[in-house]
Amino acid sequence: MAPNQGKILQLFGKYVGTEHTTGLRWANPFYYPKRAISLRIRNFESSKLKVNDASGNPIEIAAVIVWKVVDSAEAFFEVDDYESFVTIQSESALRNLANLYPYEAHQEGEISLRSDPLEIAAKLQVEVQERLQKAGVAVIEARISHLAYAQEIAQAMLRKQQAGAVLAARQLIVSGAVEIVTEALTTLTRDHHFELDDERRASMVSNLLVVICSEQHTQPVINAGSLY
């Protein structure tokens, strides 16, 4: 018998054991049939499944499952075709997992398919293992191999992500600008003894914020007369 194989032995249709030892072996001729099952580690990559995430958005998702047979008898007797069983149950578990979590997190601390790949992979492995346990199959690893919004909403979601990034950048710029203006006014008043009334202070704050937050170079204007 070849390495990493298990051979099922039956006596008059009754299961009598499994042989895992490599090399040549003599067996009772009534032990029939002698079905060999591979115990090697295998990869299975699912097709790209179109499902709805927890928020109802259509997404495309696929996974890679690394598995092996650990109980030859269960793989042979408990299911009709254990390889087909692995394929169908793995895709079923992947669909179920995709329905439980959103593509992107909408709240702080929320687990999402895109932002938490390690947590999602661990949960997928548990989900697949529960389904394949009865077939004598052990899941060594499970991970997402493809994840994307479905084609019909991909452009809309891309614009949403871009808008979110622009908004976050703007918030950071404005927050930094306010700190710079505050420090500038404090330094002018404390160190240079500038006395500014409310109107002049408001005008200076407005001008400084425009200069700092503007995306284009500002054009200086020289005021030769009074501020008023």
How high is the pLDDT of residue 17?
61
Alpha carbons 187 and 30: distance in angstroms, whole number: 99
Bridge partner residues of 43 (DSSP)? 66
More confident residue, 186 or 158: 186
| 204-220 per-position pLDDT tens digit | 788 777 777 776 666 66
> What's the mean per-residue pLDDT of the chain?
81
| 189-204 per-position pLDDT tens digit | 777 777 777 777 787 7
Let me know how long the chain is.
Answer: 228
Q: Which two tokens stand for residue 189?
A: 């008043």
How high is the pLDDT of residue 128?
95
pTM score: 0.63
Alpha carbons 124 and 117: distance in angstroms, whole number: 10
Alpha carbons 136 and 18: distance in angstroms, whole number: 13
* Closest to 207 in 3D by CA, of 193, 224, 219: 219
Confidence band for 170, pLDDT divided at 50, 70 and 90: confident
More confident residue, 131 or 4: 131
Q: What is residue 218's three-state secondary structure?
A: coil
- Across 51-60, 62-71, 102-111, least confident range: 102-111
* Closest to 72 in 3D by CA, of 1, 131, 140, 19: 19
How high is the pLDDT of residue 39?
86
Percent of the chain whose predicted confidence (pLDDT) is above 90: 34
Cα-atom radius of gyration of the chain, to the nearest Å?
Answer: 33
Neighbours of 200 (CB within 10 A): 13
